[in-house]
Structure 1
Amino acid sequence: MSNQSGLKVAVIGGGSSYTPEIVEGFIQKYSEMPIRELWLVDIEEGQHKLEIVGNLAKRMVKKAGLPMEVHLSLNRREAIRDADFVTTQIRVGLLEARKRDEHIPIKYGMIGQETTGPGGMMKALRTVPVILDICRDIEELAPNAWMLNFTNPAGIVTEAVAKHSKVRSIGLCNSPINFQKYLAKTYGVSQKEVLPEFVGINHLHWVTAAYVNGEDKLDELLDPNKQYSAKNVSALDWDPEFLQSLRAIPTYYLKYYYMTNEMYKDMSESLEKSGTRAEVVSRVEKELFELYKDENLQEKPKQLEQRGGAYYSEAAVNLMYSLYNDARDIQTLNVANGGIYDFLPADASIEVNCVVTGHGPLPIPPVTVPEHVKGLLHAVKTYEQLTIEAAVTGDRGIALQALAHHPLVPSVNAAKEMLFEMLEANRNYLPNFFKS
């Protein structure tokens, strides 16, 4: 990829609290990835946040002394036209919708979480049609652009784009880059000196090897004293014997599957005391935007790292840089399976290490795929593919099938009642399900 006059980048969901991080990345890499125009785009409901974070972005660019034009816009098509890259970081229904996604399943005795289970499905049903609408604009106005998606549930969204559009799209998540940073910090080396091997799909992966300067440190990392977790998932401890027998480091999201009862109890108690993660994020965001308002602030504040999705934007900038410069480095991305896993469909989105070239990512088959993870991966992938079909068609029967096949949904009867309540609660964002 080469653009001598500089790049045009459109950030859909530009009013996000993450935006200062992506702007910081663009500034740091400007000499090797010059961005001529940066368009931050949002919807009317997000205009207030867009102006706050957008003005901070302008101050950051001015301080850096770079000839980068920062545009704030509610006109998505204007921003996308002739763009080289489009990033998507949207939340359809805002945090109020997330709150419902978390609260309603708990009432029915099920895990209420943003990206998996019933809550994750509802987020996907709201999000997939909007993302596909964005894709239609990209197909028309910027057919050669790369779309980098880190809108959750990232795996489902990435697969939906691949199945229902012609857009060149790659999905990414902050979980892998967080683990890489953890691994580098643990052994006191740079990130370039570590290489974890990831096996699985988005928010359902295992680390089956953890190389530090070429030496696999997996056995040491399975020590119960070195447990790895994240700010947006409960810190309940893994059983050390189970972890040893697993012979892999599970992503923290796997606690919902391996420790369902404990996680549900923890969620229920949190809901009673102080609310779910949605309320926590709402408070964190309120504090961040108060900081962003300060006209003397000209850099990304340290407090942003306290937000659950820290380093999402860093991962996006790294990917953009590698595509633009044909870097041929290794990054962990959401891409089409092809023939990597013979137990999943070829068009399934998987999360795997890839060599990133100027023509796109080339997936690297993992050395080890433990037999005991295949069943769970297949079950959750079945749920994901049914969810995509339901999102596109608005078919309630398919939506119920998706829930029935999810390992975190124990009862079809309860799922049906819950589904109808959640659909009704999201009526304004689900036109496909409420056609006259």
Structure 2
Amino acid sequence: MKRQNLVVVGAGSTYTIGMIMSLIAEKEQFPLKSITFYDTDADRQEQVAKASEIILKERYPELESFHYTTDKQEAFSNADFVFIQIRTGGLAMREKDEQIPLRYDAVGQETCGPGGMAYGLRSIGDMIQLVNDVRSFSPDAWILNYTNPAAIVAEALRREFPEDNKLLNICDMPAAIMVSYASILGKEVFDLVPEYFGLNHFGWFTKIYDKQGVDHTNTLKRAITEDGFIPEDAEIANDPNWIKTFKQVEQMVTDFPEYLPNTYLQYYLYPSQMVEKEDPANTRARQVINGREKRVHTLADQIIKDGSTENVELEVDIHGRYMVRVAASMAYNNGDIFIVMVENNGTIANLQDDVMVEVPAMITNRGPKPFSVGNISTFYKGLIENQLAYEKLVVDAYEQNSYEKALQALTLNRTVVDVPKARKILDDLIDANKDYWPTLHANKQHAVTS
């Protein structure tokens, strides 16, 4: 079994140590020759890298090489796999993404609604540049992108790199939900076989089977509505915000019992409730800054100080394991089934072809082979077409430097809808993102003074 050369982009992330633990846990399935960290923030990366180096020496002694760099050529030359997890603007901009919509009683969330548009318009340019950089030095490397907002980023990359068959966009949220399903059923998450359709952060499980072919869907619906639903993945299990998010699944299954929803649908189905529970002075971004970010930095400092991991508790979460399992199936043609983002091309029969849908696919060394979903019914088709129109308009706004397209996008989004509100939010987001967004120009012929 060939050992792979892996590059982790955005290695200063608070998720990177968890990824390292996942690579260690999965090293029999995805053996590595080398790991390289790449980040544009040298100081942030160095802390995580020094801690990771100690972890790897203790728990992955067969790894031949580990190093970290801010040099693109050094990072991307001779790569077999590149995992990308960037956050343009950092948590400081995420906080603005959440606070600005809340001023106008709209959902303040990092990937949904206006915050997702803001984050997407920041991410697109950096992601395109990164893919070009990787291809300059390793044209045959597999690129696994899990940069948010994944739906908008995936649409932009689909347009920019239509012939790149070794670029895959992926999100771990369906897998994180399945961890809770597995706990209810007393099974291991990778023993479950899902049927699923939708867009990223906007989809539904239609069936949950196990590998013996037993259908557990009704058992799960009953358990969720009667006993409750809680996060079980190590990274989110004790997070009060995620506990509330999983609690909302009970309401969604009660209101629409046909399918099991992705947790993110709460923002689109109950936007007023989501606004009411948010505190602009204590956004989710602020909670992460004061919570996970401090916790991970403290953990890294402790490892570096001790020169060992003996005084810290390290956990493996689904975020990393899911990525690594997908990569292994690509590397060794395992044909494992995972939920990933692919161009539709008839997978959901009554949606247009040029849509980045999120569906189960067999992962091979020739890329993902999605399973046909067939036609979807009116309610779900209506919701999805509204959301995909929003996503496409956001990318149009980026490509055309168009204020009008951005305003259309926000007006369509179910978390906003109201045009005057959309315009006020957009104007505030433009001001906050002047160092990151392209300059959006109004169509003078149709512009109206607000």
- Does the C-alpha gap of structure 1 residues 264 and 83 become closer, same or farther in structure 2, counting only changes over 3 Å? same
What's 1:13 paired with?
Answer: 10
Residue type at the aligned position of 2:280: L
Q: How does 1:92-107 map to 2 (within 5 A)?
A: 92-107=88-103
> Does the aligned pair in 2 maintain the 1:128–1:392 contact within 8 Å?
no
Deviation at 1:205, TM superposition (A): 0.8
2:81 equivalent to 1:85: yes
Q: How does 1:81-160 map to 2 (within 5 A)?
A: 81-160=77-156
Residue type at the aligned position of 2:24: I
Residue type at the aligned position of 2:84: T
Residue type at the aligned position of 1:286: K
> What's the C-alpha RMSD, in Å, of the aligned pairs?
2.4
What's 1:202 paired with?
Answer: 200
Scaled by the length of structure 1, what TM-score is found? 0.90
What's 2:446 paired with?
Answer: none
Deviation at 1:103, TM superposition (A): 0.2
What's 1:228 paired with?
Answer: 229
2:280 equivalent to 1:271: yes
Q: How does 1:36-435 map to 2 (within 5 A)?
A: 36-43=33-40, 46-64=41-59, 65-165=61-161, 166-167=163-164, 168-212=166-210, 213-223=212-222, 224-228=225-229, 230=231, 231=239, 232-233=241-242, 234-235=244-245, 237=248, 243=254, 245-267=256-278, 270-272=279-281, 275-283=282-290, 284-294=292-302, 295=304, 296=306, 297-298=308-309, 311-366=318-373, 369-433=376-440
Residue type at the aligned position of 1:249: L
- Does the C-alpha gap of structure 1 residues 229 and 79 become closer, same or farther in structure 2, counting only changes over 3 Å? same
Residue type at the aligned position of 2:340: L
- Does the C-alpha gap of structure 1 residues 13 and 53 become closer, same or farther in structure 2, counting only changes over 3 Å? same
- Does the C-alpha gap of structure 1 residues 38 and 396 become closer, same or farther in structure 2, counting only changes over 3 Å? same
Deviation at 1:432, TM superposition (A): 4.6
**Unaligned ranges ≥5, structure 1:** none
Using the TM superposition, name which of 296-305 and 34-43 deviates more: 296-305
Deviation digits for residues 31-88 of structure 1, max 9, x if unmatched?
Answer: 4433222111111xx3222111111211121112123311111113321122111111
SS in structure 2 at match of 1:429: coil
2:31 equivalent to 1:23: no
Deviation digits for residues 349-377 of structure 1, max 9, x if unmatched?
Answer: 11110101111110012378343211000
Deviation at 1:313, TM superposition (A): 1.9
- Does the C-alpha gap of structure 1 residues 8 and 385 become closer, same or farther in structure 2, counting only changes over 3 Å? same
Deviation at 1:180, TM superposition (A): 2.1
- Does the C-alpha gap of structure 1 residues 220 and 370 become closer, same or farther in structure 2, counting only changes over 3 Å? farther
Deviation digits for residues 315-342 of structure 1, max 9, x if unmatched?
Answer: 1111111101111011111111111123
Deviation at 1:225, TM superposition (A): 2.5
Residues in 2 aligned to 1:33 and 1:430: alpha-carbon distance in whole angstroms: 38
Residues in 1 aligned to 2:437 and 2:22: alpha-carbon distance in whole angstroms: 35
Using the TM superposition, name which of 370-379 and 85-94 deviates more: 370-379
> Does the aligned pair in 2 maintain the 1:24–1:300 contact within 8 Å?
no
> Does the aligned pair in 1 maintain the 2:174–2:262 contact within 8 Å?
no
- Does the C-alpha gap of structure 1 residues 382 and 330 become closer, same or farther in structure 2, counting only changes over 3 Å? same
> Does the aligned pair in 2 maintain the 1:20–1:299 contact within 8 Å?
no
Using the TM superposition, name which of 82-91 and 113-122 deviates more: 82-91
Using the TM superposition, name which of 168-177 and 124-133 deviates more: 168-177
User: Across the two proteins, how many residue pairs are aligned to each other?
Assistant: 422
Scaled by the length of structure 2, what TM-score is found? 0.88
- Does the C-alpha gap of structure 1 residues 40 and 300 become closer, same or farther in structure 2, counting only changes over 3 Å? farther
Residues in 2 aligned to 1:356 and 1:227: alpha-carbon distance in whole angstroms: 33
- Does the C-alpha gap of structure 1 residues 61 and 304 become closer, same or farther in structure 2, counting only changes over 3 Å? closer
SS in structure 2 at match of 1:216: coil
- Does the C-alpha gap of structure 1 residues 348 and 220 become closer, same or farther in structure 2, counting only changes over 3 Å? same
Deviation at 1:348, TM superposition (A): 1.1
Residues in 2 aligned to 1:242 and 1:215: alpha-carbon distance in whole angstroms: 21
Residues in 2 aligned to 1:24 and 1:34: alpha-carbon distance in whole angstroms: 13
- Does the C-alpha gap of structure 1 residues 228 and 390 become closer, same or farther in structure 2, counting only changes over 3 Å? farther
Residues in 1 aligned to 2:23 and 2:12: alpha-carbon distance in whole angstroms: 17
- Does the C-alpha gap of structure 1 residues 83 and 239 become closer, same or farther in structure 2, counting only changes over 3 Å? closer
Deviation at 1:124, TM superposition (A): 0.3
Residues in 2 aligned to 1:420 and 1:140: alpha-carbon distance in whole angstroms: 37
> Does the aligned pair in 2 maintain the 1:392–1:432 contact within 8 Å?
no
Deviation at 1:97, TM superposition (A): 0.4
Residue type at the aligned position of 1:177: A
Residues in 2 aligned to 1:378 and 1:226: alpha-carbon distance in whole angstroms: 33
Residues in 1 aligned to 2:253 and 2:22: alpha-carbon distance in whole angstroms: 39
What's 2:236 paired with?
Answer: none
Residues in 1 aligned to 2:410 and 2:44: alpha-carbon distance in whole angstroms: 34
SS in structure 2 at match of 1:222: helix
SS in structure 2 at match of 1:327: coil
Deviation at 1:241, TM superposition (A): 8.8
Residues in 1 aligned to 2:301 and 2:126: alpha-carbon distance in whole angstroms: 29
**Unaligned ranges ≥5, structure 2:** 232-238, 442-450
SS in structure 2 at match of 1:33: coil
